[in-house]
Structure 1
Amino acid sequence: MEKVRLGIVGCGIAARTLHLPALKKLSHLFEITAVTSRTKEHAEEFAEMVGNPRVFENYEDLLDSGLVDAVDLTLPVELNLPFIEKALQRGVHVICEKPISIDVETGKRVVRLAGNSDKTVYIAESFRHVPAFWKAKELIEEGKVGEPVYMNWQIWVGMDESNEYVHTDWRRNPKHVGGFLSDGGVHHVAAMRLILGEVEWVSAIVKDLSPLLGGMDFLSSIFEFENGVVGNYTVSYSLKGNDRFEIAGTKGRMEIFWDKIVLNGKEIEVHHEDSYQKEFEDFYRVITGEKKNDLGDPLEALKDLAFIEACVRSQGSRVSVSSLL
């Protein structure tokens, strides 16, 4: 099996704590051959964690080196579009951290770039690789709750000074719509859409509760899926609480957890897997031609972002999600 030569671009939290552990498990598929970051010091520190990749002082030199077949972009969101474009211009595949871009309009440009290239643009949405969400989808399609009627997801992140994401400059001064609301929220939208399909409209209130976090940090919404299921999605990045994810239907109810689903009071165990490892495995299969880019499709990532942008725009009014696309 031929290894893909991978360049790491951006050596921050996601690259260090999420991507690198997954890639180390996939050393039979990927070889990290090149590294670059905002500062050479960060790149050199990351390179020591990897082994012996070549360190580059800038992105362009890395792309032109002939050492990479693909790049892994873990960057401030506003850099996604220009960095994806440069990689495609040089015939290099891309796996890029979500959200796809700072807003839907620039995200559309990423979708067009991907559509016009014979190279892969894979938006790394880890929640599309979580087994519990796929199991929930399967159970609903099997009619285990009857016709689904209502979905409720409450998420209480409760970030404080001890959270390293709070101290990231580009998160404290976000250029991406809604700040943490889109940075984390596209994960949640990806899961909801995977399980229940496309969202038709949304009405929401957003608030800025914490001076510690950049931009808005609270969102509460009501919306309707195209299949008629009514949803409530509430998330706070500053308030603490107990999360709850449930779906009610005409014949029952389920609660969704990371490692199990409680269906009508009965626990169904779900094997928890490393979703970052799974997304890199999927990326490998896509760029080697084994499968289509279904799970990393930029259009799917754009739809995730469109839901959040619709919420931010709403101010309590109903907004059609498709109107943004």
Structure 2
Amino acid sequence: MAAITGIAILGAGLFAKEAHLPALVALGGDAPPLIAVYSRSEKSARELSDAAVASGLAPAPAIYHDGDPSTDLDALLARSDIAAVVVVLPITTQPSIILKALAAGKHVLSEKPVAPTVAEGISLINTYNEKYKKNLVWRVAENFEAEPGFRAAGEAIAAGKIGKVTFFKAAVTNHIDVDNKYYKTPWRTIPDYQGGFLLDGGVHTVGALRTMLPEPLTHLSSFASLNHEYLKPHDTIHAVAKAGAHFHGIVELSFGFPTKSTPSSDAFVITGTEGWMTVNFAKLEGTGSVLRIVIKHAVKVEGKPTEEVEEVVDVPQKGVEAEFASFFDAVVGKETLALGDPLEALKDVAFIQAGLNSGGELVDLGKLVSEGK
């Protein structure tokens, strides 16, 4: 298969600078050249181009921005040397830009969530399947799904390290104040999409569960609330969720915690018939960020537990790098690790949407994904 001629990044926000550029640098020669960057303003596009050079990418990517037909998005998409684009734009802006890029014949990797609502996601996926899927690759960049640590945890569960899964817990709490660098992003400060940070960040937690659990989440009953007015429309969800035919769990998502420290140290706890597992992000001196997997397995003699064996595995955090590598492989037809399926990403949005609207009623997630309501 032919190599990818070049790529462009559409959007010049924090995540493009702090995650996407380092991932391209880390991939080195396995990543196609970054030929161009686009933002609505010339200033932010130039800053991203400068950041690319500072990070070690060369030559400097060309700058495209609104306001001049010779340097706007249409001009960028008209370039024949750009085969694929990475879309890192506000949640409500992304669907139209994804379709615009596909219509221009570009492969697309778009940041999560797949769309602001399930209905919009269904429409976007249907259009892609009907008009573009035959010739173009579209993937959704959900870096928790791509994270090697979450995938290793899922593989350990599938291998029976904790027996048959019986229940689980996901407790992800965050303290977001008005000085938070992500809160200061204008489209997050006054969100025009459901859930605010719960949609933007909550899909990560659901994506991680989707990656680790042996069967998909099928139903939930939940309540949502707003505890800090500046985090409107909601900042907290508590849900009881069912997965597959035989197990269930609790999902706590909050971006409105009162302090940076939280009483719960374990983000993910998955319990089985023969043991349990925790999965948490950790920072190790000299190693950087890792996902730490702790497995406790009960060794039985004559059917009775006699001792507990502990296994600890630290997996370097490389989710963005992994999702880029998978996308580039898919574009050239040699994909070995299938990541970023838009329909799977839609399931993450469905969980958040159901969590916001359940009001204690049971929601069938499969029906929501198929019908959009």
> What TM-score does the superposition give when structure 2 sets the normalisation length?
0.83
User: What is the aligned counterpart of 2:276 among 246, 253, 276?
Assistant: 253
Match of 1:17 in 2: 18
Q: CA offsets per residue over residues 42-91 of structure 1, 9 Å max, x none? A: 00111112232111122122101333111111000111111011111110
Distance 1:243 1:108 in 2: 36
Match of 1:78 in 2: 92
Tell whether 2:343 aligns with 1:299.
yes
Tell whether 2:46 aligns with 1:2.
no
Stretches of 4+ aligned residues off by more than 6 angstroms: none
Tell whether 2:160 aligns with 1:127.
no
**Residue type at the aligned position of 1:261:** I
Residues 1-325 of structure 1 aligned to structure 2 (within 5 Å): 2-28=3-29, 29-51=31-53, 52-57=60-65, 58-116=72-130, 117=132, 118-196=135-213, 197-239=215-257, 240=259, 241=262, 242-244=264-266, 245-258=268-281, 259-264=291-296, 266-291=310-335, 294-325=338-369
Distance 2:136 2:105 in 1: 7
Q: RMSD over aligned Cα, in angstroms? A: 1.7
Distance 1:313 1:228 in 2: 25
Q: CA offsets per residue over residues 245-269 of structure 1, 9 Å max, x none? A: 1111222111112332221261321
**Residue type at the aligned position of 2:294:** V
Shift, 1:292, TM fit = 6.8
Distance 1:141 1:267 in 2: 16
Shift, 1:155, TM fit = 1.1
Distance 1:199 1:150 in 2: 12
Q: CA offsets per residue over residues 8-32 of structure 1, 9 Å max, x none? A: 1110011011111111222412211
**Residue type at the aligned position of 2:7:** L
Distance 1:24 1:130 in 2: 18
Between stretches 48-57 and 225-234, larger displacement belongs to 48-57
1:119–1:98 Cα change, 3 Å: same
Distance 2:39 2:265 in 1: 35
Q: Which has more radius of gyration?
A: 2
Shift, 1:4, TM fit = 4.0
Distance 2:28 2:157 in 1: 37
Alignment coverage as a number of residue pairs = 325
Secondary structure of 1:184 counterpart: helix
Distance 1:288 1:3 in 2: 7
> What TM-score does the superposition give when structure 1 sets the normalisation length?
0.95
Secondary structure of 1:21 counterpart: helix
Q: CA offsets per residue over residues 296-324 of structure 1, 9 Å max, x none? A: 11111111111111111101111100121
Secondary structure of 1:84 counterpart: helix
Q: What runs of 5+ residues in structure 2 fail to find an aligned partner?
A: 54-59, 66-71, 282-290, 297-308
Distance 1:4 1:156 in 2: 42
Distance 2:244 2:40 in 1: 43
**Residue type at the aligned position of 2:154:** K
Match of 2:300 in 1: none
Is contact 2:4-2:83 (8 Å) kept?
A: no
**Residue type at the aligned position of 1:212:** Y
